[in-house]
Amino acid sequence: MKKNTNWEYAPAPEAAKIAKIAKRYDHFINGKWTPSQSGKTFRTINPATGRKLSEVADGNDADVDAAVKAARAAYEGLWGKMSGRERGKYIYRIARLMQERAREFSIIETLDGGKPIRESRDIDVPLAANHFFYTAGWADKLEYAFPNRNPSALGVAGQIIPWNFPLLMAAWKIAPALATGNTVVLKPAETTPLTALKLAEIIADSGLPEGVVNIVTGAGTTGAAIVNHPDVNKVAFTGSTSVGKFIQQTIANTDKRVTLELGGKAANIILEDAAIDQAVEGIVNGIYFNQGHVCCAGSRLFIQESVYEEVIWKLKSRMRTLVVGDPLDKNTDIGAINSKEQLKTIQKYIQLGQEQGGDMYQPTCKLPSAGNWCPPTLFTHVTQSSVIAQEEIFGPVLAAQSFRTVPEVISKANNTPYGLSAGVWCDKGARLFQLTTQLDAGVVWGNTFNQFDPASPFGGFKESGFGREGGLHGLAAYLEM
Ligand code: NAP
Ligand code: MG
């Protein structure tokens, strides 16, 4: 089908000027901006242009130690003794401040990480604020949330987050820790530290007692320093399965508590009675949302044979309408790939998919000359053993297969080391539940995909990790009972 060039969108760029990014950011330790003890910094860049946004302190063991000491002192002092009702007030205040500065947050999230402004504005930032609102409400009701269990805080939580939802992941970690009376040392990802540092500004403005939340920036070694610190009571990690396994080994002979939110390879299953147009939207949302940098992305598509041709035809024509490019443009559907390294990884998988006999489809897109870009990609003629159907790519690459019967698709969908999420598209409720109860996945969406809510627990099975974030389960992970 030829693209109708008369229907191009006019550019609608968000005004980036209102976002204030300092030339340099230090660590946020004990309520103060503190340079790294080594004096070292690293650059964070805009992946859509390749240009530097800011210099950020590079944390070492000594910086992490100072942050943990501050968190311990705050826990033993004011915060540990404060009533849930008082704690809740601070958390509500953080949520409201985040709403007030939502526009600035969404612009910085998009500049630093490459995701479309539409997503950071409508999903990341509002959801992050909602997590603070939700947990704030529980802060004075923990006795009711967990009756007869005597819930009490664990102490100092060491938290490490990835680059795909930088602010949202910080909220998922910090909000429940505060509501349950713990103090925090958090490390954002190396490529996307800015919104966590902006969050530190809000935390300072909220008057939260010094040392309750500490943000230390740096690379993997800074994360390792948090995991290894003897005075950390709980490690909360979101990231890759390989680093998660390493963390599990590191803390094996300690009494540290741990939750691991790791990778995924979700099945998105289209049954023959599904509403096809709606399912195609769900497929697109499932894999191309946030450039496919989504742990629960619907990266394996299973289509029942009788509707296979129709779904693929409609999917390809929908893919041709996706706008790839400037993440600050409000029309953009697919922004920049987060880093050069991630782009190389995605390209390696696209190459492998072709070498292993997959049929690749990419619509023609005009890609900007600078920055990291990957058009939406679909593979058909994929086999179950193909690498692109087995391994997490973490990019806009979808591997489609067909199936005939429900038992067949259940066994195919479960045939993966991961177990984070899945989606089922089907007209009959009973059939939908039959499938969802047999899928090994922490979250299963029915006739929708990528829906998140602070009240709903999220987490995985198998190599997708253990522990839950969100809901009461997410609070329980920060409590001794
Ligand atoms: P990653 O390489 O594992 O990094 C995650 C975080 O850990 C980053 O802050 C990283 O620092 C740090 N880190 C690296 N090595 C470490 C070590 N030895 N000890 C302690 N910390 C260390 O993962 P990623 O590539 O950033 O993120 C993508 C992965 O996250 C995907 O597999 C995705 O599925 C998963 N994820 C899971 C969920 C979930 O809820 N299950 C949600 C989002 C993402 P640097 O930034 O310096 O590398
Ligand atoms: Mg960046």
Same domain for 355 and 402: yes
Q: Quick one: which ligand is closest to 163's CA? A: 1
In the structure, ligand 2 is a single-atom ion and the residues with CB under 5 Å from it are 44, 112, 191
Q: Is 470 in the pocket of ligand 1 (CB under 6 A)?
A: no
200 with 279, same domain? no
Whether residue 196 is found in the same domain as residue 295: no
Ligand 1: nearest atom to the Cα of 227: 20
Residue 132 lies in a domain: yes
Q: Tell me, what's the pLDDT at 334?
A: 98
Would 180 be classed as within a structural domain?
Answer: yes
Residues 225 and 279 in one domain: no
Whether this model's pTM surpasses 0.85: yes
3 falls within a domain? no
Q: Are residues 75 and 179 in the same domain?
A: yes
* Cβ-Cβ contacts under 8 Å for 186 (sequence gap 6 or more): 159, 160, 161, 170, 173, 174, 196, 213, 214, 215, 216
Average pLDDT for the chain: 97
Q: Are 251 and 258 in contact (CB under 8 A)?
A: yes
Dist. CA 242 → ligand 1 center (Å): 9
Mean pLDDT value of segment 121-129 = 98
Read off the CATH number of the domain in which 376 is found.
3.40.309.10
* Ligand showing the shortest atom-to-Cα distance for residue 419: 1
Report the separation in Å between the CA atom of 1 and the middle of ligand 2, taken as the mean of its atom positions. Answer: 37
Are 224 and 276 found together in one domain?
no
Q: Considering the domain boundaries, does residue 8 fall inside one?
A: no
Per-residue pLDDT of 420-439, as tens digits, reads: 999 999 999 999 999 999 99
pLDDT confidence band for 7 (50 / 70 / 90): confident
Q: Are residues 427 and 365 in the same domain?
A: yes
Domain match, 275 and 423 both = yes
Atom of ligand 1 nearest to the CA of 165: 43
Catalytically annotated residues: 261, 295
Statement: residue 188 has pLDDT above 90: yes
Separation of alpha carbons 152 and 136, rounded Å: 16
Q: Evaluate if residue 303 carries a pLDDT over 90.
A: yes
Residue 63 lies in a domain: yes
Which residues on adjacent β-strands are paired with residue 479? 153
- Identity (one letter) of the amino acid at 308? Y
Q: Whose CA is nearest to atom 42 of ligand 1?
A: 295
Provide the CA 29 distance to its chain's centre, in angstroms: 25
Residues 187 and 305 in one domain: no
Check whether residue 253 and residue 277 sit in a common domain. Answer: no
Which bound ligand lies closest to the C-alpha atom of 462?
A: 1
Domain that holds residue 245: 16-261+461-480
How far from each other are the two terminal CA atoms of the chain, in whole angstroms?
A: 61
Residues 83 and 114 in one domain: yes
Count of structural domains within the chain: 2
- Same domain as 404, residue 307: yes
Q: How far is the CA of 334 from the centre of ligand 2 (A)?
A: 17
Question: What CATH number is associated with residue 29?
Answer: 3.40.605.10
Read off the pLDDT of residues 328-384 as tens digits, 9 standing for 90 and up: 999 999 999 999 999 999 999 999 999 999 999 999 998 999 999 999 999 999 999
